[in-house]
Amino acid sequence: MGNPLRDRRTAAELASDGQVIEIADKISSFDGLASIVEADLAALDSDKMPSGWRDCAVLGDLRFGFADEKRRIPMVSGRATADVAAVCQRCLEPFQLQLEIEPKLLLLEMQQAADGCDDYEVWELDEQTLQPQDIVEELLIMAMPFSAMHDNVADCKVLLSADLSDDPSDDSSDDDGTEKLVKPFAALRSQMK
């Protein structure tokens, strides 16, 4: 028997069986997600490239069933998390970005109505069968922020100071030789004065 996350079945079959799929995989198993992460990391110098990012875990579960009493509308719910390597758009340094999804989806064929199921989002199926992994992967991709940044500004290597008196012509080291944090928008700040 194969991996139920990668098996192709109809939504009705998965729902009728009450299929529960445990997710314990790696980023490398999700080709589309891995490609997006790799493209983001390509901007880094090779010495900053996080090692083993393809082996980061994707964990969670999917539960299939029906959303209606007549058992005509297949649904899936669950939860999945993944820690993916990302590049902070503020400081341009790599960091771990946690993605979390909690799908609650109706699995509908094109033009199929779903009256009375307002608590669900609609996932339109363009084929007779589906692969549960595709749902997880697409939802994780959609959960990725447009501009990834450290959640905590203190973790970011760029100083975000509200002090408008900074001189944009400052060099990048103090008198004692210690390196200052880069302020990429200091010149713009002085032009706005």
Contact criterion met (CB below 8 Å) for 179 and 172? yes
pLDDT values of the chain reduced to their tens digit, one per residue, 193 residues: 578 899 999 999 999 999 999 999 999 999 999 999 999 999 888 888 888 999 999 999 999 999 888 888 899 999 999 999 999 988 888 999 999 999 999 998 877 777 777 788 888 888 889 999 999 999 999 999 988 888 877 778 765 444 334 454 555 455 555 455 556 666 666 666 6
Output the pTM of the full model: 0.76
Burial of 152 (0-12, 13-18, 19+ CB in 10 A): exposed
Provide the angle, in degrees to the nearest 10, between the axes of the packed helices 132-143 and 31-41.
30
Q: What are the domain boundaries of the chain?
A: 9-153, 159-193
Contact criterion met (CB below 8 Å) for 82 and 101? no
State the pLDDT at residue 39: 92
State the pLDDT at residue 162: 40
3-state secondary structure (DSSP) of residue 1: coil
The radius of gyration of the chain's CA atoms, rounded to the nearest angstrom, is 23
Contact criterion met (CB below 8 Å) for 80 and 30? no
